[in-house]
Chain A
Amino acid sequence: MSSFLVISIIIIYLSVIFYVAYWAEKNSKSRWVNNPYVYTLSLAVYCTAWTYYGSVGLAATSGLKFLTIYLGPIIIIPVWILLMRKIIRISKANKISSLADFISLRYGNDRFLGALVTIICVLAIVPYIALQLKAISETFNVITNHRITPVSIIDDATFYIAILLAIFAAFFGTQHTDATERHKGIIAAIALESIIKLVFFLVIGVYVTFYLFDGPTDIYSKASLLPNFETQQTINGLQGGFNWFLLSLLSMIAIMLLPRQFQVTVIENEREKYLKKVIWLFPLYLLLFNVFVIFIAWAGNIVFQNKSVDADLFTLMLPLYNHHEFLAILVFLGGFSAAISMVVISSLALSTMLSNNLIIPYGFLRRFSKAESKENIESIKNIRRIAIFSLIIIAYFFYKSFTLNRSLVSIGLISFVLIAQLAPAFFGGLFWRRGSSRGAKYGIIAGFIVSFYTLLVPFTIDSQLITTSFVNEGMFGIHILKPYELFGLHIFEPVTQAFFWSLFVNIGIYSFVSVTKLGSYRERNFAEMFVDSSKYAALHEGAYVWKGEAYVRDIRKVLTRFLGENRTERALNLFNMKYGIDKNILYADARLVNFSEKLLTGSIGSASSRILISSVVKEEEISLLEVLNILDETQKAKESNKQLQERDRQKNDFLDTVAHELKTPITSIRALSEILLDDDQIDNSTKKQFLTSIVSESERISRLINNILDLEKLATGKEKLDLQKNSIKTSTQKSIDSVYQIAVSKGIQINTKGLIDAELYYDDDRIQQVLINLLSNAIKFSPKETGVVSIFSYINSNKVEISVEDNGKGIDPNDLITIFNKFYQSKNQTILKPVGSGLGLAISKQIIESHNGKIWAENIKPQGARVTFRLPYNTI
């Protein structure tokens, strides 16, 4: 196929991708851009050219082992619903813009740690990007029939493709200064590419399996005749099992900690709930991608048996060999998509780290703090653009100058092992409070050194075909220092061995240092916040607490430099509104300090924003736990204060009512007595009437006073109940006796047919008081002459219920509960002022409750009210 045609296709394809990104950026609110499917597909940036070509290569040469790279993610992703949610929440709450930011913030905004993580990531990923460029270049050469890779850059199409990718990433990656803003354009393009690469790969899989061969059985029966077939398709016993296990673990870490994965999963996450789709859809995607890998590999082995064809290129060579050039173009484009999406996202993620965690905090802070906001915003963007270009260009030269004659998979795995060095610090930081910044740093460095010794050095030696005794004899000829069999451990393959030893040392040092040496108060605060993220979520700006002194205008100055006048003003207004703070306030509080730090973090990274803000803030040490305790106590004090106030109010109301209730009879007594005193001509019968009233009003007063005292005694528990075994029937009968006269005088019947006797422990006098109260209420509200008051009891194994019913008008449904309040008297009472004090039911309730019982009222049909109380057999 002519280069011209292929280049034209590439240009058309890239235009489409650019257009999609452009459209998505313009329509960033569209549902086509914001949905869980786009999010899930963007995660498929995990499948790079390595998956496209390398898996097949690995399957062809070493059998099933390629699966581990996908098994790890498939196993861990369902846990994301908890794990990733926590990570995403923390990241969003703290405006974290990259993996380096996340780790450095967790360990107290440690500038050095952020830089260290950045460097590790760059070291791990640049060769990986180089690998993608290599894949593009090689497949391009295969499809255009170039035998030799062009030596000069000018002739090399890959160079131009790399430049185009850099432009793409730089343009769509720096639309906003705030790196936590989502890059909708890039993500939409990645999602599209994920569809393309999967579909094209499936097409080629179906083509190979069902067109070139007669389905899986056919391929299998032919492949099984090949030498080594048997051993390749097994796990290879316990030893192989260890390798499988560690490789799966490695890819588990990679799916979360590869900078590009962290970028698409955490930073580009629009909504937490998208994770619900991801946990099944993404494993499905990976499964689909792997269905045909083994068949293509077998097919390649069969077709190209005894021909020297690089197994990594089987996917492409199979259609080409059979002269299906259109299909070959599809394969090429699929692999191309896989490669460029990895290059774009990785360079974007790395550029954010480089600018926010390395370049700005170490080089530009002083300059930034003097310059104007416009310049600063431009500078930040330029740093990132330059970083993207440099990364891609460096990767290009890396691929050019090192003869990367190792398979795609092995270079990819080295990348994984380096990234895995961040795992202890990352996951330890999430779940272990004590993990300290010092421990993290030492652990990462030690782990890196070990992987350098056990993997990078021997690998470089091998790949450059240098002859040295280092690999085979060990350093200085010491056998236990053989890099591939460190300390005589020879059950692992090189990569798993390096992974094992480096993480072993890394975790060991991380835990040991963390345990022996306590971190600073600052990192302990962040540790609390990360580990117990849900507890601190509600605190928001208050979460990281700070004691010290700062002027609002100083903070404002710093913010203005990076956000500009308008955005600063808007942000501060919002902040003031949210917390109801006067905008003219002079001193900043902890919330403003935190708020401003977060605001800057998105633009310049957490470490830099910390440094800038603390330059205008005088700080004192305070631990977060301390603060939580203080907050807790104030909250409790507030609550108990509220309760006290409420109790006070109730008491005042009660006193008011008591005063009122006492004054009323006194008023009558005074008025009547004055008349008797002043008026000599008063006739005898009137005099007698007045005196009777005075007596009854006096009785009313003493009754009221007794009731109040009663209530007080019961409520405060001053009076102990005299619990004896009593009979319900006897108590009821005695109670009826004392109201009998009144009932008779009103022509009201009392019906006790439904009363079944029971014996249980209660205070006889008190229960009689309740019964008398209920009975006299019932009599009071029953119609004269036709009134019937009935008493029922209902008994079961652990309680007795006694009801008193009348056939009066019933109780207003709104009052069924309030009637038990003190001094409640029904609004609907139309009869003359009742004889009661308004305390009867309140006292009854108190009595029943001190027997651990319950009292309630209801209306019955056809008419009337029923009050029931329940006494448990076990009163106490």
Chain B
Amino acid sequence: MKKILLVDDEPNIVMSLEYIFKKEDFEVFIARDGVEAIEIVENNKIDIIILDIMMPNVDGYQVLKYLKANPVFSKIKVIFLSAKNKASDIELGLQLGADKYVSKPFSTKKLVNEVKSMLNKKEKK
């Protein structure tokens, strides 16, 4: 069972994501901000993270930087999920090493497919 971490401070968004990934047989972890996210990553072998950017305390960029700086976590797939959708925001996100940048509002189906294909690729390798 793949482990997915959902990081967002919007409870309703988390609720919807939790529902769809549970249905796809993921083990779902939930964090409401960056601090919680890092805690969960450190204690669980997470495969993929769906990461919001604008969050209190530690934001999404900082979480990603933390992950990329640590060889143990740097392989974890990261999808940014953010309402910030200016070209410059997207570029910054990808530059920092995110595998994908999805703008809010998003299509649930597309997001699920994206996550699945990303994990398949990883397995093939």
Residues of A near any B CB (own CB < 8 A): 656, 659-660, 663-672, 674-675, 678-679, 686, 689-690, 693, 696-697, 825-830, 832-833
Contacts and interface: CB of A to CB of B under 8 A. Distances in A.
B20 A675 contact: yes
Contacts of B17: 671
Contacts of A672: 12, 15-16
Given A672-B16, A674-B107, A675-B20, A660 B10 contact: no
B19 A686 contact: yes
A669 B83 CA distance: 14
B108 A675 contact: yes
Contacts of A663: 83, 104-105
Closest 8 CB pairs of A and B: A668-B12, A671-B16, A663-B83, A667-B104, A667-B105, A670-B105, A674-B108, A693-B12
**Most chain A C-beta atoms within 10 Å of own C-beta, residue among B84, B104, B106:** B104
B111 to A, nearest CB: 9
A667 B19 contact: no
Interface string B53-74: 0101100000000000000000
Interface string B95-110: 0000000001111110
Contacts of A826: 56
A660 B54 contact: yes
B106 A671 contact: yes
A664 B56 contact: no
6 contacts: A667-B10, A671-B13, A672-B15, A825-B56, A830-B33, A833-B10
A177 to B, nearest CB: 60
Interface in B71-125: 83-84, 86, 104-109
Q: B interface, by DSSP: helix, strand, loop or mixed? A: loop
Contacts of A659: 83
B108 A827 contact: no
A825 B33 CA distance: 14
A664 B10 CA distance: 8
A832 B32 contact: yes
B15 A693 contact: yes
Contacts of B10: 664, 667-668, 833
Interface string B1-27: 000000001111101110110010000
Contacts of A656: 86
Interface of B: 9-13, 15-17, 19-20, 23, 32-33, 54, 56-57, 83-84, 86, 104-109
Nearest to B12: A668
A690 B11 CA distance: 11
Contact of B104 (A664, A689, A833): A664
A406 B84 CA distance: 98
B109 A674 contact: yes
Given A672-B15, A830-B56, A832-B32, 19 more contacts: A659-B83, A663-B104, A664-B10, A664-B83, A664-B104, A668-B13, A671-B13, A671-B16, A672-B16, A675-B16, A675-B108, A686-B19, A690-B15, A690-B16, A693-B12, A827-B57, A830-B57, A832-B9, A833-B9
B16 to A, nearest CB: 4
Contacts of A671: 12-13, 16-17, 20, 105-106, 108
Contacts of B33: 830
Contact of B23 (A667, A679, A690, A828): A679
B19 A827 contact: no
Contact of B11 (A660, A667, A678, A832): A832
Contacts of B106: 667, 670-671
Nearest to B53: A660
A833 B9 CA distance: 6
A304 to B, nearest CB: 101
Given A674-B108, A832-B9, A833-B10, A668 B16 contact: yes
B117 to A, nearest CB: 19
A675 B106 CA distance: 12
Given A670-B105, A693-B12, A833-B10, A675 B83 contact: no
A826 B57 CA distance: 9
Nearest to A677: B108
A604 to B, nearest CB: 60
Contacts of B107: 670, 674
Nearest to B11: A832
A656 B85 CA distance: 10
B105 to A, nearest CB: 4
A664 B11 CA distance: 11
Contacts of B109: 674, 678
A7 to B, nearest CB: 91
Contacts of A828: 56-57
Contact of A827 (B16, B56, B86): B56
Contacts of A668: 10, 12-13, 15-16
B20 to A, nearest CB: 6
A686 to B, nearest CB: 7
A659 B105 CA distance: 11
Given A825-B56, A829-B56, A667 B13 contact: yes
A672 B18 CA distance: 11
Contacts of B57: 827-828, 830
Given A667-B10, A667-B106, A675 B19 contact: yes
B71 to A, nearest CB: 30
A678 B11 CA distance: 21
B6 to A, nearest CB: 12
A825 to B, nearest CB: 7
Query: Which of B9, B84, B106, B108 has its CB near the most chain A CB atoms (within 10 A)?
Result: B108
Contacts of A833: 9-11
A814 to B, nearest CB: 15
A659 to B, nearest CB: 7
A309 to B, nearest CB: 100
A697 B10 CA distance: 11
Nearest to A662: B83
Contacts of B13: 664, 667-668, 671
Contacts of A674: 107-109
A827 B54 CA distance: 11
A660 B103 CA distance: 11
Contacts of A689: 15
B12 A697 contact: yes
B11, B13, B56, B107: residue with the most chain A Cβ atoms closer than 10 Å: B13
A379 to B, nearest CB: 66
- Interface-centre pick from A674, A679, A830, A832 (highest chain B CB count, 10 A): A674
A670 B10 CA distance: 14
A696 B106 CA distance: 19
B102 to A, nearest CB: 10
A666 B11 contact: no
A823 B55 CA distance: 13
B42 to A, nearest CB: 19
A331 B122 CA distance: 110
B58 to A, nearest CB: 10
Nearest to A682: B19
A422 to B, nearest CB: 69
A690 B104 CA distance: 18
Contacts of A664: 10, 13, 83, 104
Most chain B CB within a 10 A radius of its CB, from A690, A829, A833:
A833
A717 B20 CA distance: 47
A671 B84 CA distance: 17
Contacts of A693: 12, 15
